[in-house]
Structure 1
């Protein structure tokens, strides 16, 4: 299909979405076979709702057939694998179960019944009414192309991760997304949350309360990732405050913001550690693994999401912490939140806390319904769970691929998927999906109105918060600030001591002055340049996660981090020059000292800018360092101390225009020798060339006094050039992933 037919997801908001669409990085390839659903009168709507809400034992063929018939009247389609529509951010419909209802037991954990109000479709307001998330005929493909291009839209060359998946999660339900490794759990959930990586092609429908949804999903949902990413030097309260400023509506007052933060810290049990640093501190006190996971949940609950996605939330936690975490999820679900989470090998107690499960096998749905009905379905197909055996382990084990028996295992799993596709549970699921799509037609309240009601933080507020966080992190990291500061001061003393007493207005003094200037330039070039190579790679995962959530832009992040480093890039070289300059005994004039200080400050900043560029241009620090080393040699050779610039070969003559070391060396040399009229010549050097004036020294290195301020401006231009390239590389990397 030609890309000329691309239609933006935001532009295709018809109440009856197409049966199967492609979506490539937020764009849709509409299917030409779109059928408008038929409207039903009020009596038929009530009858259909009653049918969905009637419990059945999975063997009531008459009930399922009736439901299927009504489903056909809604969508105009029928068949074993009916097309569910996606609904979500606004549902409060009293439907007991999307699959066959299990027998009543003393436990209420697996009961899907909720005392939720019947949803009103007169308007679409998910933040007030809850969310029913539905996906229909969903296929997800991955491609090696960075932007998802696939050779003109051909799908046969790509790997299919999700294969015609259909499902629904209602408000008040806690659904577990389970399957063996590689079954597509995380891919399915990230796709439903509209957080799939670049290069992913999505085909099918994802809807909230029967309506198509796009980037607005980020606003009404929370996504808890498997790995917790924080800035370890911040405290819990500081992290929550930062996130609150970027996630909450700008009209929320300071008092309300504090109340929200305190309430979440209390609900998640983090109030007692509010002033504890997340990862490390001087007192060595830090958050435990369970506390870090709860902090991740607290952040996602800031905007009171109606849908919560959790990617293996219990990974890395002990049994007690995992139990507490799932209990928190269960309590949230009871209050009407729609929760979908992938989970890997839960204990039997944890498994019992989920209302519904969705089992995946090689990207296909093997079952969706209550945990007890899952066991019943497997038993009906010849797979009986042994006594005193963990049901979750049993279900995953049946669907897993056994080493050495790959083909047999895959055939067994595909057989279960085929049997589920024609089961009563699948038909009842399809009926719910069609009901969601049909009932959404009764309202004309577009989600644009809901989007317009939210006001994110102003750009300058976002910029200030990013800068403040980066500044706190730098000040509290002893390896970045304290050690580097003391190392810089120590080097200033050592360099000054080495050249002390050698700086004189003589032939030997010329060499000593030029040597001291070069060492000062080198010290403020190489160490700062290599010390920042890990700054952006280290923070890239967190940056990528936060920008994908729409918290801030790449430009805000890059500029804020550069400005956070700027005070250190000014104070350190100034102190270095003050110490080193007077110990070495360089020219004692205000002009010479000022030019030297300005040059060294600019050198340190442009070297840092070069390091930032290389750190964003390559995926790893070793690779960036491998390419940076030869560049350093070129700049050092063309600094003017080793070779006369006018004698450079034509092939390398252009490199001098990029060498800030040359510009700084020329400016500082001019400051030291400009106006010097009498340089002493020794008697023993009568037959050797002798510098009589400062102009002779400048001529020796092909330096010109008229280039003084041009050199300083050239360093500034190189500084901004490196940062522009660094920003572009960071933006491009974020776009590719």
Structure 2
């Protein structure tokens, strides 16, 4: 494809850059992967909005409406780096969330692409939202994170994916760090990686929420420079920014200022001060224009909001969009370029636009087909399962500590209750051992998920919103991935304790005992998923055990069914711990187990049937316990999925 130095969609100011920053700009073909009915002939996407209003309800008893945005208007052009600015509470983040499609309820007005009302699902496929917090998988390396994203976003061959990954990482100067885990990256490197992950799908519109937040001065300049270079390739780049330095402020092509939910200015950065001077608002010498704008918007020099809103016509006035950049802008760009060349700032550049049409290779329109996402449902599950297993293999707390804990406790309990399973004088101790096993397996499985699953929610929110995968595929993958680890830990505990306590060595009893232990763990793990989906880690740790307390009380250990109040007996029949305890007791004492040897002068429970009768388990059935536990696993995991989907909807 022939390269040219400009496209019709770019602002003329890009043609006047110094040679040191001149970029080769490639035209975007009409039949490319980003073409749709809302795009212009060049493939560029100009994001606009008209009479945009956002209303929230406040109060507890009397829900009073409050407008956070008030019929604002504007257009953000392709090829420009746009900054949305305003004081805290002015509505800049709200505007960003609405434009990105992150906030949908309470919105009135029109959202436009190239002057036409946009189709939301199509727009979401061609845009991405990079949030303030990077929300990366901490245990993956840079290259692994990029490979996972490429496998979820691109339907090309593996060689082409790896080539694209290398191209992007080299462009943003992360190739040398490709084997470094993301948790070990600096703040600027994490931000660049977040951008690189989204550049894989070649978005035409990119939204950034406070991209310089938490970065030092030099890294902030580097980050904004990268955004500027990305915009210069013909993409529409929009970001919110709070208090930029003067040099960073001058690097923006377009400024959209808001105050009290209104637009007070829309135009070029160099046009801001002349615009304010028309209302006798003169910026003091050597004062940062960005700081001065925030002071004016906050009312430090008087209430000028109404006047400025009229002057900008609430965003409709396009007069100041045509102001040309001054020489100071180019001087600052040259300064940044020199800093990059000298090594004071890591050199970065925008990767070239991907022109090859990459589509889903899956031709089967059956279960695995999925038109809403770049790859099929089956491929999403496969990739996410691989990622989950990789993370689990490196997670010392969730994997190695869990296995070590189960083994350590098994050895301790097995030694403490050594030999109790073969002596009639220790039947009560054996019962206590079985109840402890139920409680231990329940609490470990529950707590492991409750304390880890909520930390995944920010990552899920970002990836799912940016159309990496469906929520169903993620939930199925994360559910399946943790089951083998939990089963290994559970079996390790069950086998060690079973033989150390000298339970009967009969194949069907051993299998029944192990299988019931696994079911107890799976039910508790399901409860952990449900609690983790509706609560954060702090609340889950505090309130989660309270949710399990009723099941513990009505497990049959503290109070038997026949001794309880008639009105409360139904609670025994819904307690999974009761069925789990019955299953373990029946495994070792039920099914016509013969007379037990007695090492004491008198043993009350020589015949196991007598003990089962006293524990109200004479009519208990192992098969009933299995059916109940399996049903509970299915019901709770389905409920956890819907709880997770509600959480994601709340966040978006």
Shorter-chain TM-score tier: 0.7 to 0.9
Q: Is the 8 A contact 2:267 2:319 kept in 1?
A: no
Q: Describe the shift of the 1:574–1:427 C-alpha distance in structure 2 as closer, same or farther (beyond 3 A).
A: same
TM-aligned CA distance change 1:185 to 1:109, over 3 Å: farther
Q: Distance in 2 between matches of 1:587 and 1:422?
A: 82
Q: Scaled by the length of structure 2, what TM-score is found?
A: 0.83
Look up the SS of the partner of 1:165 in the other structure.
strand
What is the match of residue 254 of structure 1? 158
State the partner residue of 1:190.
97
Aligned pairs for 1:387-426 within 5 A: 387-402=285-300, 409=302, 411-421=303-313, 425-426=317-318
Distance 2:159 2:294 in 1: 48
Going from structure 1 to structure 2, the CA distance change for 1:580 and 1:347 (only over 3 Å counts) comes to same
What is the match of residue 73 of structure 1?
Answer: none
How much does 1:209 deviate? 4.7
CA contact (8 A) 1:142 1:161 kept: yes
Q: How far 1:640 sits from its partner (Å)? A: 2.5
Give deviations 1:3-55, integer Å, cap 9, x for gaps. xxxxxxxxxxxxxxxxxxxxxxxxxxxxxxxxxxxxxxxxxxxxxxxxxxxxx
Q: Confirm whether residue 586 of structure 1 aligns to residue 586 of structure 2.
A: no
Equivalence for 1:457: 375
Aligned to 1:565: 482
Judged with a 3 Å threshold, the aligned counterparts in structure 2 of structure 1 residues 126 and 600 are, in CA distance, closer, same or farther, namely: farther
State which drifts further: 121-130 or 587-596: 121-130
Distance 1:246 1:127, change over 3 A: farther
- Structure 1 unaligned regions, length at least 5: 1-90, 152-156, 280-285, 403-407, 431-449
Correspondence for 1:243 = 149
Report the equivalent of 2:407. 489
Cα deviation digits, residues 413-445 of structure 1 (max 9, x gap): 222222232999545769xxxxxxxxxxxxxxx
Question: Superposed, which structure 2 residues align to 1:250-649 within 5 Å?
Answer: 250=155, 252-279=156-183, 286-402=184-300, 409=302, 411-421=303-313, 425-426=317-318, 456-506=374-424, 508-617=425-534, 619-649=535-565
8 A Cα contact 2:73 2:316, kept in partner: no
Distance 1:555 1:567 in 2: 20
2:130 equivalent to 1:130: no
**Residues 247-274 of structure 1 deviation map (CA, whole Å, 9 limit, x = unaligned):** 23x3x22222111111111111110111
Give distance in 2, aligned partners of 1:423 and 1:135.
Answer: 10
Change (3 A) 1:715 1:127: farther
- The answer to whether the aligner puts 1:727 opposite 2:646 as a matched pair is no
**Quick one: structure 1 residues 293 and 422, their matched pair in 2 at CA, closer, same or farther if it must change by over 3 Å?**
closer
- C-alpha displacement at 1:706, in angstroms? 6.6
Tell me the residue number matched to 2:139.
233
Corresponding position of 1:33: none
Q: Is the 8 A contact 1:110 1:354 kept in 2?
A: no
Distance 1:472 1:115, change over 3 A: closer
User: Which of 599, 612, 633 matches 1:698?
Assistant: 612
Cα distance change, pair 610–503 in 1 and its aligned pair in 2 (3 A): same
User: How far apart are 1:295 and its partner, in Å?
Assistant: 0.6
Is the Cα contact below 8 Å between 1:162 and 1:364 reproduced in 2? yes
The equivalent of 2:122 in structure 1 is 216
Cα distance between partner residues in 2 of 1:607 and 1:412: 60
Report the Cα distance in structure 2 between the residues aligned to 1:546 and 1:579, rounded to whole angstroms. Answer: 41
Superposed CA offset, 1:453-493 (max 9, x none): 99720001112222222222222111111122111111001
CA deviation after TM superposition for structure 1 residue 509, in Å: 2.2
Counterpart Cα distance in 2 of 1:558 and 1:165? 39
2:571 is aligned with 1:655? yes
Q: Is the 8 A contact 2:82 2:256 kept in 1?
A: yes
* Distance in 2 of aligned mates of 1:636 and 1:117: 64
Alpha-carbon distance in structure 1 between the residues aligned to 2:467 and 2:81? 26
Q: Any idea what the Cα deviations from partners look like across 1:676-715, whole Å, max 9, x if unmatched?
A: 3334568864xxx933422222222222477122222222
For residues 627 and 338 of structure 1, do their structure 2 counterparts lie closer, same or farther at Cα, with a shift above 3 Å needed?
A: closer
* Aligned mates of 1:505, 1:110 — CA distance in 2: 85
Unaligned runs of 5+ in 2: 1-6, 323-358, 361-369
Larger Rg: 1
Select between 421-430 and 541-550 the one with higher mean Cα deviation. Answer: 421-430
SS in structure 2 at match of 1:230: coil
| Post-superposition CA distance 1:169-208 (Å, at most 9, x none) | 2222122211111111111122122221x54323234233
Q: 1:644 to 1:169 in 2, by over 3 A?
A: closer
Residue 554 of structure 2 contacts residue 578 of structure 2 at CA under 8 Å; is this kept in 1? yes
Q: How far apart are residue 213 of structure 1 and its match?
A: 3.4
Name the CA distance, whole Å, in 2 between partners of 1:127 and 1:455.
25
Name the structure 2 match of 1:77: none
Q: Is the 8 A contact 1:467 1:564 kept in 2?
A: yes
